Structure 1
């Protein structure tokens, strides 16, 4: 069982290199890799994944067929235009890697073992390995967004609308989504964060936090993330992982460890 690897740093590239070295036995077997950044909107970091995090990963996967992809928020405008203009597009061009719009690659209904069904992109399942690159932030609906919530970018537009309007429980949906499709490796950027909301356009306040995290357990990563956010937000002090509704569901479903060991990397 891997711990949560944690480093107080602002050097994303060096941390990613260390992660790749630590998980090389996993990575070296993969002939194809799908990378899922956070491209929720047109806003740059820390709303979305920092270009350095993606670039550092791409330069260390030269022998794999790599595709980067996401489905931006349904209220963020044209997904094609957004992806074309986002800073991560330049990184993908530099490395000759496609940046794909998941909305255009077909959606399927999948159900968890509890019979909870969501319509989502199954495109990542075509790859040997899936790596997620979330940003740790506060979220005005979900409390926090990080490892678990980054999977939201796989969902069909109408699924997201149903969740944000209360037709479907968004918190349970996030947990069930992770039960259906889980990344193989997650590298979470918490060098900077947003407090109060997940995007600047929604009222998020940019704040330095100063950490990078990595691991294979999204529940463990988000549980550590809750503790880290308390360092810069007094309102988060005393908050436990199970106080975050989607984390509570994920813990109940046995999707990970809310009390992980941490290790310096």
Structure 2
């Protein structure tokens, strides 16, 4: 997959103004309006969880508002805003709490749950791990996709930026499948990278957004994508080149290419293996000024604070991982000095992994081991489910 973008793409960074104004200004600098004129456009924010924008979990609604204004002025033929949530989250509730539903109503634009459309299966050329993917037909049928993520550290992917944000176009449980992929001999060449990182690059090989607007108004550091700490940054970044924009934002938050492997894999897939921030047209002085190293998402850091719990994660997705970490942060200190408890989750957990008789089998992926401890069904269960189970 060779990139058709300019050898030196433009990435625009704006800072210090209202979110909607910065989004419009960044788009005006970095994106040609003629690529929008007469086209059908999907604006794809990050609303995977039910949360409010002040927490850095979801895309800021006023960034979406600025994108909508710019797309309208550029002469789009049709505009929809859409996303899908992780399994178990009510998308209608998430759209309301994010503030983005109100923005779409203000702009008289439809907001769609991507999972409610039919699936379309796409074949991946030269795959790293995924030979085909099922995506929402909405994403496939539009002419232009604008990926509008919020910057977050991520416990499995390193960081959420524009490429990772495209995981929301995957159809229903296809999102979860990306966390449970088994490696194959024919992909041995790529085996030094995690299967999830390779899957994100493969997805973008067939569903690469044509425009990205990255929300850095309130970002998340630490235990993203859900239970990290919000950090105000007040930045919006835009480009026609998703890879370039992600590299700039990766640099801005002080992460290396090893910290976010799917970005490097995407560069290789596009035939740009050595592509770096030096190859991008941007305001380097402003990038240097705004550079704000943030804490990585390292689950071990949280579990280490609670040595009276044994955490066993084998091939779990972000949903159960976030539930376990949120339980520890919210209720973990209540169990200091009590008998140890094991919490096991992920479809890779086996009988050999169960070390304690007092073991929580967290989530549907552990159903085959339900006779080995306390089984909590759900995809995912919620943190209070663990507390209730331990208090019985």
- What range is the shorter-chain TM-score in? 0.7 to 0.9
Mapping for residues 15-34 of structure 1, pairs under 5 Å: 15-22=22-29, 23-34=31-42
Q: Equivalents in 1 of 2:64, 2:206: separation in Å?
A: 25
Q: Equivalents in 2 of 1:51, 1:255: separation in Å?
A: 35
Q: Cα distance 1:248–1:17, how it changes in 2: closer, same or farther (>3 A)?
A: closer
**2:239 aligns with one of 202, 215, 227:** 215
What SS does structure 2 have at the residue aligned with 1:206? strand
Where does residue 13 of structure 2 map in the other structure?
Answer: 6
Where does residue 66 of structure 1 map in the other structure?
Answer: 79
Q: Name the TM-score, length of structure 1 as normaliser.
A: 0.86
Count, aligned residues:
254
**1:131 aligns with one of 129, 141, 146:** 146
Q: 1:136-161 deviations in whole A, cap 9, x for unaligned? A: 11001111111110100011232222
For residue 174 of structure 1, report the CA deviation from its aligned partner.
0.6
Q: Equivalents in 2 of 1:258, 1:118: separation in Å?
A: 28
**1:117 aligns with one of 132, 136, 139:** 132
Q: 2:59·2:98 contact (CA, 8 Å) conserved in 1?
A: no
For residue 255 of structure 1, report the CA deviation from its aligned partner.
6.5
The runs of 5 or more residues in structure 2 that have no matched partner are 1-5, 184-194, 287-392
User: Whose radius of gyration is greater, 1 or 2?
Assistant: 2
For residue 85 of structure 1, report the CA deviation from its aligned partner.
4.8
Q: Cα distance 1:263–1:248, how it changes in 2: closer, same or farther (>3 A)?
A: closer
Where does residue 233 of structure 1 map in the other structure?
Answer: none
Q: Name the TM-score, length of structure 2 as normaliser.
A: 0.60
Q: Cα distance 1:255–1:13, how it changes in 2: closer, same or farther (>3 A)?
A: farther
Q: Cα distance 1:194–1:181, how it changes in 2: closer, same or farther (>3 A)?
A: same
1:261 aligns with 2:280: yes
1:182 aligns with 2:205: no
Q: Cα distance 1:80–1:108, how it changes in 2: closer, same or farther (>3 A)?
A: same
Q: 2:14·2:25 contact (CA, 8 Å) conserved in 1?
A: no
Aligned CA RMSD, in angstroms, stands at 2.2
What SS does structure 1 have at the residue aligned with 2:58? coil
